[in-house]
Structures are given as structure tokens and as C-alpha cells.
Structure 1
């Protein structure tokens, strides 16, 4: 695996957001790393007339405050791109997003980071378990990603063996199930993004918060088309999810 590939995806997402035409009314970039905030400042400064805020802080707390206290959703709409470092997105953040009426969400789910935490023998450190609970908003992930069965030891005693069963397709399916508990519409065809060795890095999913039939109809047309178009390209490159 090329270790800097996740970082390459992240840098690319900023540039793509700024290249959208017409521009959004205002951009919020939330980054806890001071060095990356300096980089963001340089990028934004190179875009004349850009209205933006760079917040050097924890994204969960800042975003929660921003969308629940600072924005009047009666007259505002937003596109949120969650592009976390590791497994830092907490479930309450997704809950807060889902409760606002005018948000389209693109979530770059950290599939590789999750896979690394899911130890093959099921012996997951308590700190990692807590992180996965926070990421999925429940502890039922263990039941989905592990199977247990009994064998006999050499002395005829029963021994319980735990085995990991978490291919990327199952992780993707479980992620969609969890998102659907919050959002009125979640695109059924998330995009699996792989590195140069065809190992899954991220799962790009799309959801909206507006429950109206016209909004869902438009979201289906837009989100499923975008994900399907790029998904076909990824499959031709053998990155299968």
C-alpha cells in the first residue's frame, strides 16, 4: 500500500470543492492540524473573492455547534463533505446533521481504518471498541463482522473460536443500514475507493436530510448517477466493492 494515498484523496477533495461552479455562498473548512490549516489558508487565499472560514479545532464539536446553533435552516442549504482523519466522526455528529432540513451529505467513510481495527481473532482493544461504537452509533457491529463456533481441544474440552467476517461488501452494507436509521434517503450504491494495490481505502456514501418526495426524487437522480458513473470506472480498474 502507498501510505500517502489517503492524504492524496483528502487534498483532492478540497480542490474539487473550490472548483465547483457556481461557487457556494460560504465555505467552512474544519481541521484540527495547525499545519494543514496553514495549507488551507494558502489554497483559499489563491481564490479571489472566496467567502470562507477555516476552523482549527475538532470537527465534531465545531460542526455540531455550527449546524445546530449558528445557521438558520429556514433560509439556508448546505452540502457537507465529511472527510475524516481515521475514525474521528462520532455518531452524534451524523445525528445532528440528519435533524437539519436542508443538508446533502457526502461521507468518506474510513474503510481501511475500520478494517485494521477489526482484529482477525476478535480480540479488539477496549479503546478501539469504543471508537467503533462511536463511529457506528452502536456495538452491533461485532455481531455482523464476527462469527463464533465451538471446537474441541486436544483434551476434548469445548473451545470457542471467533473469526472475522468483514469483506468490504459487508462493511458497506452495514454502513448503509446504519445511515438509513438517520436519513430519509441514502444512495444504495456507495463508491468504494481503493489505493494503487486495489485495497479499499474509503466508502463514499451520499444521503440527504430533506424527507420530501421531490427532494428524494432529485437526490436519487443526482446521487445515484454520480456514484454509478464513477463506480463503473472503478470496476473497470478492478476496484470492486
Structure 2
């Protein structure tokens, strides 16, 4: 092959790689802010075992309930509405007792069918320590089993004391480590914006490079 063909091949692969990087950068920035592309979607839903027309659903932002089998919905009024609700559980003994689990935050509960809410203290700060809360289970005597990204914990007394035998917050799952390094959360929530700024700078660099290549090609 002569130099012209090698130059053409180089240009094709160079442009293709640049466009691929542009796609990766844009989608990466969007994935760092899922609320922008997903909206306030439903994450979990639960039916009252005693009254099936009474339904609770958790969204990215807020907790909602319906008294008529989902025809009409209202947000549960709270001073601090839950964020990213991943699980809702009714007590097996009394369906007026409701437990709600946030992905990166709290366990909140109500003893009166959702009128008054309180929180159950955890032996760690899920958000700052990067511990994902996944699922909650309630026993007949109101025992609580909580599954997390770092194992599971158990309480017999509504969260006053926790058995952490099968929990290790010092051990970070590989997938979690890779994900947080990729999106910037490994260094803290504020660092995500540093990642976004760097991605935007690289995006501008690639686009301006393509423009300069195109102008140079026309001039040449």
C-alpha cells in the first residue's frame, strides 16, 4: 500500500475512534445523573396484605400511595421525603406497620398506616460509606433483616442493636469499586462534577480536533 492508502486508513480509524469516544463521553455523563434521563420512575411496589386495594410505591423521589388499587395516587407527606426507595414491606402481624428502605440512606417506618414516620438507626452511614441497601425483611416479632452490598445485618429490637456477624463494611465488592471509580463517586458525590467537567473538556477537544482536521482537509 502507498502512503495515500495508509493515510486514508488512519483517517477512517481516527475519526471512528473519535466519534466512539464522543458517544462514550456523552452517555457516561448522562449515566452519572440518571434522574435526568429516567425521570421519577417507580422502583418498587407493595400491596397491603389485608387490603389489596391499598398500594404503596417507591420512586426515585418520594413515596406514593393509592387507596383504590392504583387508580389515583398521592405522595406520602413527609418533611424529608425518601429518595430512591428500593423496598417496601408490611409487617406480617399488622399491616398498619410499614417499612420503607432507601437505596443509599435510611430505613423509615410507620406504625399508624403512614400518618407518622420515624427512622431506624443503622450501625453505619450508607451514603458516605458507599453501602448500598438492597432489601429488608420483617419477622413476626418485628425482627429486621437488612441485605446490603456488604453483607446482611439483623436486629431483634427494632434496630436498637444489630448483629453484624455477616457484614463487613471494609470489604468493597469489585463491581461496586469499578462502578464508583468510573463515575467519580469513589472520591465523594461532589467529585462526580469533576468527572463531568473533565469529560466535557475532552469532548470539546475531540470535536474541535475533528473540525480542525476537516478545515485542514478542505484547505489542502
TM-score normalised over the length of structure 1:
0.24
**Greater relative CO, 1 or 2 (CA 8 Å, sep 6+):** 1
Q: So what's the TM-score if we normalise by structure 2?
A: 0.26
- Decide which structure has greater strand share: 2
Larger radius of gyration: 2
